[in-house]
Structure 1
Amino acid sequence: MLESPSKTALPSTESPTPDALADLLQNPDRLWEAVCDTTDAYVAVIDRSGIIRFCNRVDDGFTRDQIVGHSFVRFTLPESMALLLRTLEEVFETSSPRSLETTVRRPTGELNYFSIQLGPVALDGRTVAVLACARSIRPLKESEQALQRERNGLRRLLEIQERERQLVSYEIHDGLAQYLTGALMHLHACQHAERTEPAARELDASIRLVQAAVDESRRLIGGLRPPALDELGITAAIESLVVDARAEIANVSFTAEMSGSRLPAALETILFRIAQESLSNARRHSAARSAHVRLTRDGGFVQVHVSDDGQGFDPLCVPEDRFGLEGIRQRCRMLGVEPRIESAPGRGTTIEATLPILPPSGVA
C-alpha cells in the first residue's frame, strides 16, 4: 500500500530568519571563524615584531606550537628572509597590501612554494598587525621546472644536431667537394687537348655530370649548415637562402637592419633555421609569386619576418607528419617567446619571431 503524500518526510528547506542572519552578520567572531575554516589558504596574523600570533591551520608536517609564537620568516630559506622581512615592513609602513612568492623547507627537508598576500589590519587608523594569506603553488612550480627541464633537453639536442650538421657540412666541403672540383678542372683542361668526336661527346657528358655533383654538394652544404653562417654571420646566411628561393619563387626580396656586433652563435642558428623553414615551406607548398624576408635588430631584440602571397593554409589543420612549424615554435620557446604564425586559405602566410638577444633568466 502506498504511503499518503502527506506522510512523506522531506528535508527541511527553511531559511534562517532575517533576524538570525542579521545577528550573524553582526558577529565578527563567527564570520572570522567561518572564513578561516572555509578558505584553502593558510591564514596568519603577524605583529609588528614579525611574530605569528594566530594561524587558522597547519600542514606540511608542522604543529601549531611550531608556528604560533615564532618569527614569520623562520620557515623560509635564508636567501628569501630579507625580501620577506622588507615586504612585511612595507605593509606596516604604508598600510598597503603586498604580494610575493617564497620557498619553505618542510621538517622532512622537502621544499614547498607559496604565493603570499600581505594586508594591513588597522585599528584607530593605525596598522597594528598584518594578515598573511598563503597558498601552496608547489604543483605550478613543479610543472614550470619540468617544462624548463624539457626545454633544456631540447636545446641540448638541437645543439648536438647543429654540431653534427656542421661536421658533415665541413666534411663534404673539405673532402668530396674538393675532389669533385679538382676532377672538374682536369676535365676542362682535357677539353683543349686533341680528341676525337666520340671522345669529345663523352668528355662533355662527364663534365656535365661532375658539374651536377659539385652543385649538389654545395646544395647539401647549404642545407646542412652554410659556411656563411659561421664565417660571415646571419645576414649573409639568410641572403643565401633568399638566392636559393628565387629558383621557385620569382620575386623574393630581403631587407636587413642589423647594427652593432654579431649576435650570439646560438641565436644566429635559431634565426637561420626559422628563416630556412619558412622559405622552404613557401617554396614547396605555397605556389607563391612573391615573398619577403626582413631581419631587424632593435635594442635588446632581433626579429625575423617571412611573408609570401601564396595559397596559404589553416594553421589548425597542419598534418601531424609536418614538423616544420612545430620546430619553429620549439626553437622560439627555448628563449621564452612564441612565434606569430598567420595564414588562411588564399591569403598567404606570415611567420614572425621576435627574440631576445640575451636569454631570459632561467634559460641556459
Structure 2
Amino acid sequence: MKHTDHTLDSIIEEMIDTVKHSKDEVFEIAEESRKEYARLSNELEILQEEVITVIDEGDLLDKKTKLARRRLYEVNKHFYKHSEEVIKQAYDQTSDLQTKLEITRDKEKNLRARRDDIELRLKAIEQMLARAEGLVGKISIVLNYLDVDLKEVSDLIHDAYEKQEFGLKIIEAQEEERRRLSREMHDGPAQMLANIMLRSEIVDRTYKKGDIDSAVAEMRNVRSMIRDSLHEVRRIIYDLRPMALDDLGLIPTIKKYIDTLDSQHQNIHFRYQATNERLHSNYEVALFRLIQESIQNAIKHAEASKITVELNIENDKVMAVITDNGKGFNQSEKKEKSFGIIGMHERVDILGGEIKITSEEGAGTEVSIIIPIEKKENA
C-alpha cells in the first residue's frame, strides 16, 4: 500500500510539474501577444490619424484639380487670346495636380488596407488571448485540484468516475462564467468604447471643418455613451460579487440588485417575510445567486415583462418563489449546456434543499426553492 501511495505521489508530482510548465508557456505566449496587441494598437491609432490627414489632402487636391481643369478648358477654348507660355503653364499645372491627386489617393488606399489588416490582426490576437486566458484558468484549477484538494476530494468522492465528473463540472462552470463575463464585456463596455472612439473621430473632423454646432451635439452623444458604459461596467462588477451582501445582508442586497434593473425592467416586484437574524454567509450567497440567476433567465431568455420574487425566511427553512410572465419553455425538450439551471440545482443540492422549475410555452415560468437551515451552536 505504501509503495502504491509513493508511486501515486510520484505520478501526481510529475503531473504537477508538467502542468506548471504548460501554464508558464501559455502565460509567456499571452504576454507576447499582449505586447504585440499594444504595439499594433499604437500603430493603428497613428494610421487612423494619417488616413484622416490624407483624406483631407486628397479633398483639397481634388478641388484644386477641378479648378485647374476649368482653367485649362477656358485657355484651350480661347487659345488665340493666350500666349503659348500661358497655355503650357495651364496644362502643366493641371497635369501636376492630377498626378499628385492620384498619388494621394493611392496613399489613402494603402493606408486603409494597412489599417484594415491591423484591425483583423487585433481581432485575431483578442481571440487568442481569450483562449489563452481560458487555458490558464483551466490549468490553475487542475493545479489546485492536484496540489491542494486531491485528498479532500478523495474523502468526499470514492468512485473514480464521480471524481472525474466533479472535476469536469468545476472546469465547465469556471469556463462558462468566463465566457459569460467575456460576452458581457464584449457586447457592453467594449462595444460602447469602440463606438465612443469612432464618435470622437467624427467630433474631431466636424470641429476641424468649422461645424461647431454639430461637433457640440456629437460630444453630447459621446458623453451619454460614456455614462452608459460606466453604468454597464458597474453592473458587471456588482454581478461578480455584491459587497452589500457581506455588509447589509440578503434582503437589502436583493432590493439593491432589483433597483439596478429598474431603469430597464420596471415590473420586478419583491415581497418578503424574515426574522431579524442574519443567515450564515453560505446561505446568503447561495440564495442571492439563485434569485439573481432566476431573474436574469426571466429577462434574457423568457423576455418577461413582469417578474415577482417572494422570499420567506423562517427559523428552520428558507422558501423562495420567482415567477414571470415570459414565453416559457417546453420542459420535455432537453436543452444542451443549460449551465445556469445546472448551477442552480448544484447550489441547492449542496445545501440539502429542493428546487422545482415549472414552465409551459407561452405561460411563463415558476422557480420554487426550499432550503433547510441548520442551526449551529456558538454561531
- TM-score range for the pair, normalised by the shorter chain length: 0.3 to 0.5
Task: Report which of the two has the higher share of helix.
Answer: 2
Task: Report which of the two has the higher share of strand.
Answer: 1
The structure having more radius of gyration, on CA atoms, is 1
For CA contacts below 8 A with separation 6 or more, give which structure has more relative contact order: 2
TM-score in terms of structure 2 length: 0.42
